[in-house]
Chain A
Amino acid sequence: MTTTNVTTKSREELIEKFSKPEVISGSEILLRSLLLEGVDCVFGYPGGAVLYIYDAMHGNPDFNHLLTRHEQGAIHAADGYARASGKVGVCIATSGPGATNLVTGIATAYMDSVPMVVITGNVISTLIGTDAFQEADITGITMPITKHSYLVRDVEDLPRVIHEAFHIANSGRKGPVLIDIPKDVSAAKTLFKPVNEVSIRGYNPTVSPNKLQVDKMIKAIKEAKRPIILAGGGVVYSGAHEQLLEFVLKTEIPITTTLLGLGGFPSGNDLWLGMPGMHGTYTANTSIQKADLLINIGARFDDRVTGKLSGFAPLAKIVHIDIDPAEIGKNVHADIPIVGDVKTVLEVANQTATRANLADEWRQEVLASKKQHPFQYKDSDTELKPQWVVELIHETTNGDAIVTTDVGQHQMWAAQYYKFNKPRSWVTSGGLGTMGFGFPSAIGAQMANPDRLVVSINGDGGMQMCAQELAICAINNIPVKVVILNNQVLGMVRQWQELIHENRFSHIDLAGSPDFVKLAEAYGVKGFRATNKEESRKVWEEAMNHPGPAVVEFVVRRDENVYPMVAQGSTIDQMIMGDAE
């Protein structure tokens, strides 16, 4: 990549550089504070209320900023950066429409507990509340979708606020934090001293678990005849993948990982049953329903996982491990609640965890079921099947790529047919289900991982929600491989209309979509198209070998459905298996 001409300095070097007390502007303080927080790339879009901040960036050799073409692109890129790296994603937008364009992205990050610091400009302090030009109460608007927010009224507060915001965003249950800075505050000058300590009264996330509760879990494992682990995004976020693997190897309990947990456990492991829930594996779903012990590790019992709540895991004693106490007992009653950081909890548990010895029969049953019921689809030689395309991508990347997706059928096929073995290789919008997320999040993921292959799998619908960011890839030579599984419809909506609304296909036809190859080329990005297997192999290889960004459109079967499927209101073992079984 040629985009980073910024040399990342160590914190020590920066402190050294900034240690001389200097009277500088709020904008300058913001940039220095961001650098001290270790931020190496910021995504944003300038405007009137952030003019001073952008002026401070001008000619700043330390600061790396990527100009997206829409604020939504900026915030999803910051999100992808955070998910793929574990660092805090940062984006900047101006007041009013700039700020409100971030709302979808903030909500996306909030639902999936992604650490982000969102900086918005606001009108000058004295104009706040007067319906001034480009004024919006962005702290008020985003209160329900941020972990915390600040409206900075005094430049003196800025260093502390930024430091606190990073701490809050990336500790406990992670999430987005908003800092709203009025224009006069970013212009005001003061003596800058870096803040090194953070102490927020009343904010002390519980990291270490109660040992007695962990002991109860260990005892429950010994007594269980049909135990199962349900692991979620918390495993990835706390960096607990090694501890989880150790826990599973010690206990030999079959494990299922949620959509956001993919990559938190190696898919090649025998005991991995795939993903549970609405489009989960037959084995994961039926095993949860038969289990007598369910150990939830960092998942939040989302309704897409549980199906009909009253019939979820009806026989199981429930252990719930979560850093957020409010998640425990929110949807599913926990018999053994364990509040703590997943990694720390598993470290403690691994000291005494032993094999679930009473579960031998269960293991055989589950593994036999796994062999019997893999994900399957009817392949075709005349039509290109989207599942086949995902398998092709998996094979040719050896499962090593960072895969980002948009939302819909292609997302589920990617989750089903791309087998993940490493954490932070899977970037997808789970909780909010945000269309338009897939492609810009790949830009962020690539910025965080310049040396890895980043593949963004999209539908033809979602691709058109943020396609303008192709410009960023072109001018910065960000070598993302953008896949479009083009079925010419809003596929997941079509599927629901077929199965639930008796084939009444209402407003799902995407006729009028652009020629995606030409669209790519219009932005200066290499474009490819494939309509059959032979072409697919050929153009995909070309795209992979192309050193820069590429868009590859696969024209796939229009009426293909995602199976298995659990209809809303059903228990998860009531699966529609589809045409393959």
Chain B
Amino acid sequence: MKKHTVAVIVNDQPGVLQRVSGLFGRRGFNIESITVGASEEVGLSRMVIVSTGDDHTLEQIIKQLYKLIDVIKVIDLSANAMVSRELALIKVNAEPSARPEVLGVVDTFRASVVDIATNTLMVQVVGDTEKIDAMIELLKPYGIREVSRTGVTALNRGNVSKL
């Protein structure tokens, strides 16, 4: 089972997310993460979907996506060098005594503190999924109150423009 990252350029129509996610659900394709936002062109959105499956599944995912009328382009990002990033906000317990240790973790990960309260810190971390997983793992001993992750967004490296 491999992890695949695909970008799906879609018409910015009501219901388009439902069409895409519904397709994954109906055909038994896994969605590990899905993000949607504006693309470089007005009227088009870019979805980035991380899925797991063998190569046959990936081929079917791409072909089935192309059958949707609102899908303009599907790009298998993981077939080439790509930059993938996820943002997480982590609210972690940080009594004054524990704070220096927590800040040490934050520094090491080049994350930043975006809110401080009497007993907690909110940490913002950007990176690939593994980095965020690692950070959460390291903060766990201090007591994590809440985590919010955006899911992966990604682009291929280099000069190639895909649309």
The answer to the question of B22 belonging to the interface, with a C-beta cut-off of 8 Å to chain A, is yes
Known A-B contacts A326-B66, A326-B67; the reply to A144 vs B56 at CB < 8 A is no
The answer to the question of B19 belonging to the interface, with a C-beta cut-off of 8 Å to chain A, is yes
Q: Which of A144, A203, A330 makes the CB contact (< 8 A) with B69?
A: A203
* A145 and chain B: residue at smallest CB distance: B26
CB contacts (< 8 Å) of A324 on chain B: these are 67
Known A-B contacts A151-B15, A202-B73, A203-B69; the reply to A144 vs B22 at CB < 8 A is yes
Q: How far is the CA of A144 from the CA of B66 in the complex (A)?
A: 14
**Are B72 and A202 interface neighbours, CB within 8 A?**
yes
Interface residues of A in 526-556 (CB under 8 A from B): none
Proximity bits, A126-162, B CB within 8 Å = 1, else 0: 0000000000000110011001100100000000000
The answer to the question of B59 belonging to the interface, with a C-beta cut-off of 8 Å to chain A, is yes
Q: How far is the CA of A499 from the CA of B37 in the complex (A)?
A: 55
Q: Which of A144, A147, A168, A326 makes the CB contact (< 8 A) with B26?
A: A144
Give 19 CB contacts A-B under 8 Å.
Answer: A139-B15, A143-B18, A143-B19, A143-B22, A144-B23, A144-B26, A147-B67, A147-B69, A151-B14, A200-B69, A201-B11, A201-B72, A202-B11, A202-B72, A325-B63, A325-B66, A326-B60, A326-B66, A330-B60
* B15 and chain A: residue at smallest CB distance: A139
Q: Which of B26, B60, B71 makes the CB contact (< 8 A) with A202?
A: B71
CB contacts (< 8 Å) of A325 on chain B: these are 63, 66
CB contacts (< 8 Å) of A200 on chain B: these are 69
The interface size of chain B toward A, counting residues with CB under 8 Å, comes to 21
CB contacts (< 8 Å) of A329 on chain B: these are 56, 59-60
The interface size of chain A toward B, counting residues with CB under 8 Å, comes to 18
Interface residues of B in 49-96 (CB under 8 A from A): 56, 59-60, 63-64, 66-73
Proximity bits, B17-41, A CB within 8 Å = 1, else 0: 0110011001000000000000000
CB contacts (< 8 Å) of B22 on chain A: these are 143-144
* A173 and chain B: residue at smallest CB distance: B67
Minimum CB–CB distance for B46 against chain A, Å: 14
CB contacts (< 8 Å) of B11 on chain A: these are 201-202
CB contacts (< 8 Å) of A173 on chain B: these are 67
In the A-B complex, the 4 residue pairs with the closest CB atoms = A326-B63, A202-B72, A148-B69, A144-B26
**Are B69 and A202 interface neighbours, CB within 8 A?**
yes
Q: How far is the CA of A202 from the CA of B71 in the complex (A)?
A: 7
Find the residue from B23, B63, B71, B73 having the highest chain A CB count within 10 A. Answer: B63
Minimum CB–CB distance for A241 against chain B, Å: 26
Minimum CB–CB distance for A128 against chain B, Å: 11
Q: How far is the CA of A405 from the CA of B29 in the complex (A)?
A: 35
Q: How far is the CA of A140 from the CA of B21 in the complex (A)?
A: 12
CB contacts (< 8 Å) of A168 on chain B: these are 69
Q: How far is the CA of A173 from the CA of B66 in the complex (A)?
A: 12
CB contacts (< 8 Å) of B23 on chain A: these are 144
Minimum CB–CB distance for A161 against chain B, Å: 12
CB contacts (< 8 Å) of A203 on chain B: these are 69
CB contacts (< 8 Å) of B67 on chain A: these are 147, 173, 324, 326
Proximity bits, A291-333, B CB within 8 Å = 1, else 0: 0000000000000000000000000000000001110011000
Q: How far is the CA of A139 from the CA of B19 in the complex (A)?
A: 10
**Are A140 and B72 interface neighbours, CB within 8 A?**
no
Q: How far is the CA of A430 from the CA of B57 in the complex (A)?
A: 26
**Are B15 and A143 interface neighbours, CB within 8 A?**
yes
Minimum CB–CB distance for A45 against chain B, Å: 26
Minimum CB–CB distance for B63 against chain A, Å: 4
Minimum CB–CB distance for B78 against chain A, Å: 20
* B22 and chain A: residue at smallest CB distance: A143
**Are A140 and B14 interface neighbours, CB within 8 A?**
no
CB contacts (< 8 Å) of B56 on chain A: these are 329
Minimum CB–CB distance for A322 against chain B, Å: 11
CB contacts (< 8 Å) of A330 on chain B: these are 60, 63
CB contacts (< 8 Å) of B59 on chain A: these are 329
CB contacts (< 8 Å) of B70 on chain A: these are 148, 202
Q: How far is the CA of A324 from the CA of B66 in the complex (A)?
A: 10
* A324 and chain B: residue at smallest CB distance: B67
Q: How far is the CA of A202 from the CA of B68 in the complex (A)?
A: 9
**Are A326 and B69 interface neighbours, CB within 8 A?**
no
Q: How far is the CA of A85 from the CA of B63 in the complex (A)?
A: 30
Q: How far is the CA of A203 from the CA of B68 in the complex (A)?
A: 9
* A333 and chain B: residue at smallest CB distance: B56
* B27 and chain A: residue at smallest CB distance: A144
Known A-B contacts A326-B63, A329-B56; the reply to A140 vs B15 at CB < 8 A is yes
Minimum CB–CB distance for B79 against chain A, Å: 17
Minimum CB–CB distance for A474 against chain B, Å: 41
Minimum CB–CB distance for B69 against chain A, Å: 4
Minimum CB–CB distance for B163 against chain A, Å: 10
CB contacts (< 8 Å) of B19 on chain A: these are 143
Interface residues of A in 320-372 (CB under 8 A from B): 324-326, 329-330
* B64 and chain A: residue at smallest CB distance: A326
Q: How far is the CA of A393 from the CA of B70 in the complex (A)?
A: 47
Minimum CB–CB distance for A122 against chain B, Å: 14
Q: How far is the CA of A67 from the CA of B155 in the complex (A)?
A: 54
Q: How far is the CA of A329 from the CA of B59 in the complex (A)?
A: 9
Q: How far is the CA of A202 from the CA of B69 in the complex (A)?
A: 7
Q: How far is the CA of A144 from the CA of B64 in the complex (A)?
A: 12
Minimum CB–CB distance for B43 against chain A, Å: 9
Interface residues of A in 23-40 (CB under 8 A from B): none
Known: A140-B15, A148-B69. 10 other contacts (CB 8 A): A147-B67, A147-B69, A148-B68, A148-B70, A202-B71, A326-B63, A326-B66, A326-B67, A329-B56, A330-B60
CB contacts (< 8 Å) of B14 on chain A: these are 151
Q: How far is the CA of A329 from the CA of B63 in the complex (A)?
A: 10
CB contacts (< 8 Å) of B15 on chain A: these are 139-140, 143, 151
* B56 and chain A: residue at smallest CB distance: A329
* A168 and chain B: residue at smallest CB distance: B69
Q: How far is the CA of A202 from the CA of B44 in the complex (A)?
A: 12
Q: How far is the CA of A143 from the CA of B19 in the complex (A)?
A: 7
Find the residue from B22, B59, B67, B73 having the highest chain A CB count within 10 A. Answer: B67
Minimum CB–CB distance for B67 against chain A, Å: 6
CB contacts (< 8 Å) of A143 on chain B: these are 15, 18-19, 22
* B63 and chain A: residue at smallest CB distance: A326
* B67 and chain A: residue at smallest CB distance: A326
CB contacts (< 8 Å) of A148 on chain B: these are 68-70
CB contacts (< 8 Å) of A326 on chain B: these are 60, 63-64, 66-67
Minimum CB–CB distance for B99 against chain A, Å: 47
CB contacts (< 8 Å) of B63 on chain A: these are 325-326, 330
